[in-house]
Amino acid sequence: MKQLKSFVITKMLHRIAIILLISLCANTIARETYTKDDLKVLFKQKSYQEYLDHYLDIRPTQRDEDWKKMTLEMLALSIKTATEKKEFSNQTFDSILGYLSNATLKTDHYAQFIFAKYALGFFQVCVDSKSNCQSKLQEYWSSSKRFVEIDQQLFHLAQVISSEIADQVLISILNDDSSKIYCSKMENFKNIKALLIKTVSSQDSTDQTFKNVAHIMDESCRKAIASELKKETITTKNNSEREKLYKYLKAFQMTDEKFEATALTLYLLNGPAIGDVFNFAWNKLSGLSQDHKLRETVLENIKSFQTLPDDIVNISDQKRSDVIITYINKNFPEYFEVYTRACIDYYSGARSFPKGNPTLYCDKFIERSKKKNWVSEALIQRYIKAKKI
């Protein structure tokens, strides 16, 4: 019985040994390395996939210029074919990225360029299919070479995939040698402004703002958007946005006296937040009281608005509101007189206002003015009469 058992075990071990030997031979065959002559044959046949499966079989000391040239051409053919056939799978993407991680291949300008074009197609499919490819985008962005004309297209896809990476793409575009052209186009201004507003903190000083924002764009881009940013600072209805844009322009010394006087007066009239911009505005208004010509300029700028700024009248802290309105009225008395007259004209029908009431909080203002004497009694009586019409 023992002999039989020993025989069976010996037999089993023999079979296992044979199986292992067969497996080892198979692996040896599968791992058979190609020679440079083999690669040359594949190169002539344009068998790029088999070539790329074995291009590293060549020992590093034998990877000469001929090998490099063949390998780059096979890689280019592989990427072009994948792009033409719309092979935008994760597997294909990872495969190409893997080839381009090779120290020799990743420095090639052309290979990186056609991969960038492939990546556009890949991420377009990702966006169209509403897939989650944020990690792929991050991997691509951190490892690929920059081509501004392609990055400009990628930016719009990145906006859908990841706002954080989209910001990185935009910053790269804004620091490219061609940034002046890009920044001069109005269709790009909205995104540049949004990036600035996101980056500037209302809590930071002017010096800190400069440090935080300096990397976002180069000097040529900064100059290209300066004029439009100043317009936005004046016309925006969002006072927090006005504060940040003013802080940015101030940090880079892109303001002048007329602009500052108008922007900071608007900041106070629209319900300011406590901070250094509030302090700038407070001091600027004090100086405005001594400059009649500058006040006239500011008044003309504000009168051009279809709705006169008056959010300061409606803020929840009425005591604070009273203090600021009183201060504005002391240093810039012409404004609230013009404001009240516009309110009277609206109610009396003396003038046409296609957009409706140009003084949204006029009723509140007049009611409080009766006690604060912000406007003359004669104007208050005209308001009361107009309201009855």
- pLDDT at res. 6: 55
- Residue 196 and residue 242: Cα distance in Å, rounded? 12
What is the tens place of the pLDDT at every residue in 339-383?
Answer: 999 999 999 999 999 999 999 999 999 999 999 999 999 999 999
**DSSP 8-state assignment for residue 281:** H
Contact 278, 267 (CB under 8 A): yes
Phi-psi domain of 349 (left: phi exceeds 0; alpha: psi -120 through 50; beta: other) = left
Q: Is the pLDDT of residue 319 over 80?
A: yes
Residue 152 CB burial class (10 angstroms; 0-12, 13-18, ≥19): middle
What is the tens place of the pLDDT at every residue in 174-190?
Answer: 999 999 999 999 999 99
Lowest-confidence segment of 11-20, 34-43, 52-61 by average pLDDT:
11-20
- Residue type at position 277: V
- pLDDT at res. 3: 53
Q: Is the pLDDT of residue 104 over 80?
A: yes
Q: Which long-range contacts link 100-109 to residues 24+ away (Cβ below 8 Å)?
A: 100/75, 100/143, 100/144, 101/143, 102/56, 104/63, 104/68, 104/71, 105/71, 105/72, 105/75, 106/143, 108/72, 109/145
**Is the entire prediction scored with pTM above 0.75?**
yes
Q: Is the pLDDT of residue 24 over 50?
A: no
Q: In which residue are the tokens 């490892």 written? A: 143
- pLDDT at res. 4: 46
- Residue 181 and residue 210: Cα distance in Å, rounded? 23
Structure tokens at 186: 């109005």
Rounded average pLDDT over 250-261: 96
Residue 276 CB burial class (10 angstroms; 0-12, 13-18, ≥19): middle
- Residue 388 and residue 147: Cα distance in Å, rounded? 67
- pLDDT at res. 388: 85
Positions of E strands within the chain: none
Rounded average pLDDT over 134-161: 96
Rounded average pLDDT over 283-293: 95
- pLDDT at res. 18: 54
Round the average pLDDT of the chain to a whole number and report it: 92
- pLDDT at res. 28: 43
Contact 52, 97 (CB under 8 A): no
Give the DSSP per-residue string, 291-303.
Answer: -HHHHHHHHHHHH
Question: Domains of the chain: which residue ranges?
Answer: 27-156, 175-255, 257-389
Sign of the CA dihedral with 273 first, then 274, 277, and 281 last: positive
